[in-house]
Structure 1
């Protein structure tokens, strides 16, 4: 029985799963697949690898500028501008402009921007405006394009709707039909950026080789030295290495060889490809995508290049379009701040309810003025000019005390010479006694009262009923000579904000007084 060695199969290399793709430092550009999170990482790699793209986005952000607000109320505008100037924006920054710079940077790079309005613990003030990572938020659409919500990951890592949607800011950049996430400014650049990075990487490698020259030492032994070729090659390699090492350390050392020895620099005979034209063609495409003139990016392709009026108008149009994309987010922040401070509460009230309230306030002010006027008519304005008082049953007014008659009215009316009693102020009790008089019960008077509610007296005076009149008294006056009203300025309206109720309270103030003109133009009848 023969025992032989087992035949060994040739070993094959194991399949390595984790390996380094050392194409160039930004190898992700070569494997571009347009997926959401991977796409955002790709665009950020483009900005990191191509300084021109990064500078273009920064210039667009800065040319977009800040925001200014205008309010109908001067006080609201002043307080809102102070808030926008000092609101914390995270990472030591303050102001709405710092927030918008980060927000717009994400909008141009990722195609969408996400932000959050952070309220204080009591919900009465905005504590901060913060930008979020666009790749951490997804959109959940409803039955129609107007119904959608923003979703994020909870503590367990599951994706679900975020609780306070009204405090979230979301802006897509040039959204397409069926794609609510928006489109990045860098969407068409991965292919060109990949070629550009390959060119730059190759140029860098070539220059590295020029600075670290590799040499090829060729030794051709003669007829008498063919048997010692290996030994001579080893000696030449040692001496050459020692000479190169001394040169690296700053020492000069000669290399001496015997025989036919040839020394050449590796790659010295090859011609380096001209990269100026392809690089310029790629940069032209990138500049065209950003919309910024080349000279603003430091590219001097023409000796007398400057911006024409047409180019300025096109650049202004691009900046205006970007500002329009940011306007909804700024308006959402401003509206929420105004509601928190009560400046927009009147907009959310029903107009009819507010009008009724204003009419009630006006009627109350009118009653107060009437009370003051009646008091001045009866008691005077402090200058000893109280109105004359007549009592029924006491001359010159006849009749029985406590009973109102038509004869008593005529006698009271006759006391106004040379004035005319054209106005009568009565309370509710005196009004009933007047309506019960037979002289007030003729068909014409009844028709006017029942049809229009207007009272007509035989004396030709206007009858006014008011609860401000004391019971059992009547004031007769000549409205052209009895009283004057003195006002200290116009009606003053002051506002106070009820932050806890998100309402605005109005205080209406009227400063006025009354003075008597002629004492005999007003008289009092006591029934």
Structure 2
């Protein structure tokens, strides 16, 4: 026996199971009660943002289109061709085809709601389809080790947990659900919608004028009854003139009668600056340059290389979240086919050349319009 040899005990020491110690559930006996998290929580708010604010919806779709192009690689040309061909034609939800459609919907949920869930429709005999899970129908909770996740539907645990894929966007420590890209925008969007609603009200009033007809009796007309009769006559004559749709009628009155448009003296507040400030906040949250969404606020603005690099970094971050999901799907396919090869996802290079050209074209158009407007004003 060595100098530092260990003395063997009669009883074998039990090894503790690996589990998380720093979560809120680690040392609280009843903390797991009611610990289910509904994946559809607050989804209605973010869905309404995309429905009511077109620039938000356009930004999400632009991000999806810029990054959704990939292939699977295993090192075997034959396997790669067969697998990529299969996933190009795989059924997605019964109404779409191709894994790109699955990823587009998956990304849309991830960016909009902060969480996304999908399902592989497969068994030991084959891989049949992909399905984008309905977030509002699912619940998720921590497993006993506080690390793994368990999915439920209507309170019943799903029998094939291995077929479920799940992603969370920037989750907070200890939180299961991710953080929506649109977090922080409900207040900004509500103010923006208030401004647009006010603009609509002003234009509605401008197209549906209201008039104030004022009759001032002469100094000698001291009889209140006579003044009342004349006011009623003026009222009937005005209504008759304004209600005529087929012919033009004149309104003739005797005495001191004035006709004014109600609200004509009020100054309409300029909405250009506040609307631009609100849109700047929204676009900054998406990480996209303004030109990509059709805005040309400054005729000297260009999509610089630094902007392109920053956008590429944002897209690469989203790809890193999606890549593990795609690898799980590919491994499941290879497992069913009995192929034991490593698989990786090869994303297409992010090129913003077309977007830059479109942005430059919009810039030139904005500059031309500004020059024409200045020329007309000088003339």
On the 8 A contact 2:74/2:342 being kept in 1, the answer is: no
Match of 2:230 in 1: 232
Tell me the TM-score normalized by structure 2: 0.76
Match of 1:183 in 2: 179
On the 8 A contact 1:110/1:134 being kept in 2, the answer is: no
Match of 2:149 in 1: 148
On the 8 A contact 1:61/1:104 being kept in 2, the answer is: yes
- Change in CA separation of 1:303 and 1:345 when aligned onto 2, cut-off 3 Å: closer
- Which structure is larger by alpha-carbon Rg, 1 or 2? 1
Correspondence for 2:279 among 280, 283, 297: 283
Number of aligned residue pairs: give it. Answer: 304
CA deviation after TM superposition for structure 1 residue 236, in Å: 2.6
Q: Which of structures 1 and 2 has the larger relative contact order (alpha carbons within 8 angstroms, sep 6+)? A: 2
- Change in CA separation of 1:346 and 1:130 when aligned onto 2, cut-off 3 Å: closer
Q: Does 1:169 align with 2:165?
A: yes
Find the aligned partners of 1:37 and 1:237 in 2 and give their Cα distance.
59
Find the aligned partners of 1:36 and 1:96 in 2 and give their Cα distance.
23
Find the aligned partners of 1:344 and 1:131 in 2 and give their Cα distance.
27
Give the alignment of 1:67-146 within 5 angstroms: 67-90=70-93, 92-119=95-122, 123-146=124-147
Match of 2:194 in 1: 198
Match of 1:39 in 2: 42
On the 8 A contact 2:40/2:138 being kept in 1, the answer is: no
Q: Deviations over 1:326-358 (max 9, x none)?
A: 1111111111111111112999xxxxxxxxxxx
Give the alignment of 1:336-485 within 5 angstroms: 336-344=332-340
CA deviation after TM superposition for structure 1 residue 37, in Å: 4.3
Unmatched 5+ residue regions in structure 2? 1-37, 344-379
On the 8 A contact 2:60/2:111 being kept in 1, the answer is: yes
SS at match of 2:72: coil
- Change in CA separation of 1:253 and 1:186 when aligned onto 2, cut-off 3 Å: same
Match of 1:242 in 2: 240
CA deviation after TM superposition for structure 1 residue 108, in Å: 0.3
Give the alignment of 1:188-337 within 5 angstroms: 188-222=184-218, 223=221, 226-246=224-244, 249-337=245-333
Unmatched 5+ residue regions in structure 1? 1-34, 154-158, 348-527
Find the aligned partners of 2:318 and 2:275 in 1 and give their Cα distance.
29
On the 8 A contact 2:39/2:138 being kept in 1, the answer is: no
Find the aligned partners of 2:186 and 2:342 in 1 and give their Cα distance.
52
Find the aligned partners of 1:279 and 1:250 in 2 and give their Cα distance.
42
Q: Does 1:66 align with 2:99?
A: no
Deviates more, 1:101-110 or 1:218-227: 218-227
Find the aligned partners of 1:320 and 1:335 in 2 and give their Cα distance.
22
CA deviation after TM superposition for structure 1 residue 142, in Å: 2.2
Find the aligned partners of 1:205 and 1:166 in 2 and give their Cα distance.
54
Tell me the TM-score normalized by structure 1: 0.55
CA deviation after TM superposition for structure 1 residue 238, in Å: 2.8
